Amino acid sequence: MPYFETELEVDVNGFLSSCTKSEIKELIEELQEDGWLVKEKVTKEESMSVMDEEWLTVIQKLHTLRLRLSVEEEQTIKEIVNRY
């Protein structure tokens, strides 16, 4: 049997816009299982103050940057947390 190799380029925005809500949910679950997305769900509550919203944003950014932190930066953060 002959073997054919093909390459397909998919536009992410076009792909997502053609997905149903259930397909997007399934995609998110697959990305979580493969470790590309964190399974935690952080929600913004209506009763949050501006300072709470700002803090949540900072913590979320810190979470995504974790692997880029130096050992010293990581240690500093751990020391701050361990004080409390």
Using the predicted structure, report yes or no on whether residue 65 has a pLDDT greater than 60: yes
Q: How confident is the model at residue 37 (pLDDT cuts 50, 70, 90)?
A: confident
Nearest to 62 by CA among 80, 50, 45, 83: 80
The answer to whether 19 and 27 have CB atoms below 8 angstroms apart is yes
Using the predicted structure, report yes or no on whether residue 20 has a pLDDT greater than 90: yes
How high is the pLDDT of residue 41? Answer: 57
Tell me the DSSP string of 51-80: HHHHHHHHHHHHHHHGGGS-HHHHHHHHHH
How high is the pLDDT of residue 43? Answer: 61
